[in-house]
Amino acid sequence: MNRSGKIVLILTGGLLALCLFLGAAGYVAWRGTGWFLSQTVESDPATVATVSDAIADYTLPAGFGAGYAINMADFSMVTYTAIDGRSHIYLIQAPPSLALDRDDLEQQMRQASGTDVWTEVRVVDRQPCQVRGQETTLVVSEGVSHDGQRYRSASALFEGNDGLALVNISGPANTWDQAMVETFIESLH
């Protein structure tokens, strides 16, 4: 084998070793992220109640089960899933030191809950409402989920117990219950 053949062989072998190393490192990092998230999401009812109480008091609608809570980087979030497995209620609160708006909080909520893959999202209604005695707007949007199902989402900003908060209720458009949404919004205090 001549000198240039050896150089090509050494470079190819080095590149292959680098690819294997980067692949292994990526695998370890991916597994570590899953472990970290599994340690961050709490389903213990006492923890869910503590995180929930830090955001606001409310009456959970019938048909919604035990919740999950996340407390990370001074953001607090609780989420509840309905019996149908497709409808959800989210409450998220930002740290008081951050100046966030509705879009910022909704983006944080979508990333944390895995619902940031909706397409064809459009606002279908804006309703004035009150949350905890504060005037705000309930924004109702509709989009298509990752599995092609049409979904609705209603969200409103309000001042939580310790910072700006957002309530979001989402579910399949064909079973959307606007009366339940409004009753839950009114129960926030």
Q: Domain segments of the chain: what residues?
A: 1-42, 44-187
Statement: 44-187 belongs to CATH 3.40.190.170? no
Check residues 89 and 163 and name the one with the higher pLDDT. Answer: 89
Give the residue-averaged pLDDT of 16-34. 53
Which amino acid is present at 117?
V
Q: What phi and psi, each to the nearest 5 degrees, are found at residue 55? A: -95, -60
Judged on CB neighbours under 10 Å (0-12, 13-18, 19+), 110 is middle
The pLDDT tens digits of the residues spanning 163-180 come to 889 999 999 999 999 999
Residue 126 to residue 100: CA distance in whole angstroms: 20
Give the per-residue pLDDT at 133.
92
Sequential DSSP letters for 131-174: ETTEEEEEEEEEEE-TTS-EEEEEEEEEEETTEEEEEEEEEEGG
* Least confident window among 44-53, 100-109, 126-135: 100-109
Percent of residues, the chain, with pLDDT higher than 90: 49
Residue 155 to residue 171: CA distance in whole angstroms: 12
Judged on CB neighbours under 10 Å (0-12, 13-18, 19+), 166 is buried
Helices (H), the chain: 3-40, 45-55, 102-113, 178-187
**Given a cut of 90, is residue 38 above it in pLDDT?**
no
**Given a cut of 90, is residue 25 above it in pLDDT?**
no
| pTM of the complete model | 0.72
Check residues 174 and 24 and name the one with the higher pLDDT. Answer: 174
Residue 186 to residue 175: CA distance in whole angstroms: 21
